[in-house]
Amino acid sequence: MGEKSSERSLTFSHIRNAGKEVLEYMDQRRKGLATSLATRWKKFNRSTMGGLDWNVIMTIAGMSGSGKSSIANDLETSLFDCNPDENFSVLSFNFEMLAMKQVGRKISHKLYKTVSELYSSNEDLNDDMYQRAENVVNSISNKYSIYYVDIPGTVEEMYNTVKVFHEMRQEKTKDDEYGTIVMIDHTLLTRHRAGDSERESLVKLYRMMMLLKKELKCTFIVISQLNREIEKSERLTNPMQQYPMKKDIFGSDSVYHGSDYILITHKPYMLNMQTYGPHHLPVVNPDKDSQAMIYWHILKNRDGESGIVMQMTDMLKYNRVDEYIKKEDNGQLEIK
């Protein structure tokens, strides 16, 4: 129970209270009563505390075309599939594209069909394919508690929206442990208040998320952008400089300070590299010459080890990023 020295003071609490809380959390973890939200990517789960914990901020950044939005779209549904005993909803601030386009990506993901095939007016979209797409829409509508916000808002409007949404869903379910996964795609599309620069809005956005994760049972998955630093010729020709760094993230200071996890998704094939990084990793899938490799870099891991590189395969035409498993190992590297 917190104590107050006056009406104007902030709440303070003795260390014994925090000690009790951490021991209770450790006890629940060891008994399996408190678990992280597992993802469908085992490599990511192994590199974190079994997946995404509650009340964290995860930033996913990358160049355009590197798969960051596909990863977020995948997480919207696969977190439900991988955590059937958790009671939560997804609130997706979907500022980059309309909600119907996001659902189109989910159909593409489920049916292994490109979006152009799904929207085609020729023989690709026959009656059978349309029926399969309709079945997917009916299934995900009934199975997944996902809500979209299409219209960009200010940081203050987003804060209020999350609060109202969480309280509404918690009241409806009558569950005090109800959780909300908040997706933001992406940071630069947040509407600025008059006079604010992009960087000032970014600072406010992360401050807002840090506040909310202390007020509610929620987890944030945020899409961000890399700047052009990583494309400089001196870095492309120097293997020791090819891996993403903190400075490559737009607004890196705010993002680093506010995030619990930072995942960079990178596709060196887009930069015409022959091999990638000091480990001379393949740019194209060794098993399929026409398939590009995607590399996930964990630049920040608040409760674990950073500098992990995960080898993934480019299935972006089906709005997927899948794990690449080499025969001789588990496809995971550590950068020292």
pLDDT category at 14 given cuts 50, 70, 90 is very high
Looking at per-residue pLDDT, the higher value among 2 and 230 belongs to 230
| Across 27-41, 42-56, 113-127, 163-177, least confident range | 113-127
Give me the pLDDT at residue 305, please: 86
What's the alpha-carbon Rg for the chain, to the nearest Å?
A: 21
Question: Is 109 part of any domain?
Answer: yes
Question: Is 293 part of any domain?
Answer: no
pLDDT at 102 over 50: yes
Give me the pLDDT at residue 237, please: 94
pLDDT at 313 over 90: yes
Dist. CA 204–CA 232, nearest whole Å: 30
Residues 64-81 have a mean pLDDT of 93
Question: Is 130 part of any domain?
Answer: yes
Contact of 219 with 58, CB cutoff 8 Å = yes
Which tens digit of pLDDT belongs to each residue from 112-161? 999 888 887 666 678 888 899 999 999 999 999 999 998 888 899 999 99
Give me the pLDDT at residue 261, please: 96
- Write the CA distances from 218 to 166, 167, 252, 300, integer angstroms: 9, 12, 23, 20
Give me the pLDDT at residue 195, please: 63
Dist. CA 225–CA 64, nearest whole Å: 8
Question: Is 184 part of any domain?
Answer: yes
pLDDT category at 188 given cuts 50, 70, 90 is low
DSSP string for 298-317:
EEEETTS---EEEEEEEEGG
Place of tokens 């009563």: 33
Residues 233-258 have a mean pLDDT of 93
**Domain extent for 53:** 38-265
Give me the pLDDT at residue 290, please: 82
pLDDT at 36 over 60: yes
pLDDT at 97 over 80: no
Contact of 275 with 283, CB cutoff 8 Å = yes
Give me the pLDDT at residue 264, please: 97
Give me the pLDDT at residue 122, please: 65
pLDDT at 1 over 50: no
Give me the pLDDT at residue 200, please: 85
Dist. CA 44–CA 46, nearest whole Å: 5
The total of structural domains in the chain comes to 1
Question: Is 311 part of any domain?
Answer: no
Give me the pLDDT at residue 71, please: 94
Give me the pLDDT at residue 44, please: 93
Residues 37-62 have a mean pLDDT of 94
Question: Is 15 part of any domain?
Answer: no
pLDDT category at 333 given cuts 50, 70, 90 is low
Return the sign of the alpha-carbon dihedral for residues 29, 35, 38, 44.
negative
| Across 63-72, 113-122, 152-161, 273-282, least confident range | 113-122
pLDDT category at 24 given cuts 50, 70, 90 is very high
Give me the pLDDT at residue 191, please: 67
pLDDT category at 9 given cuts 50, 70, 90 is confident
- Of 173, 262, 179, 194, nearest to 223 (Cα)? 262
Question: Is 33 part of any domain?
Answer: no
Mean pLDDT, all residues of the chain = 89
The CATH number of the domain holding residue 85 is 3.40.50.300
Q: Give percent of the chain with pLDDT exceeding 90.
A: 66
Tokens linked to 156: 């203050």
According to DSSP, the β-strands at 218-225 and 57-62 are parallel
pLDDT at 187 over 90: no
Give me the pLDDT at residue 336, please: 41
Residues 294-315 have a mean pLDDT of 92
Give me the pLDDT at residue 185, please: 87
Question: Is 102 part of any domain?
Answer: yes
Give me the pLDDT at residue 88, please: 96
- Of 307, 319, 250, 324, nearest to 60 (Cα)? 250
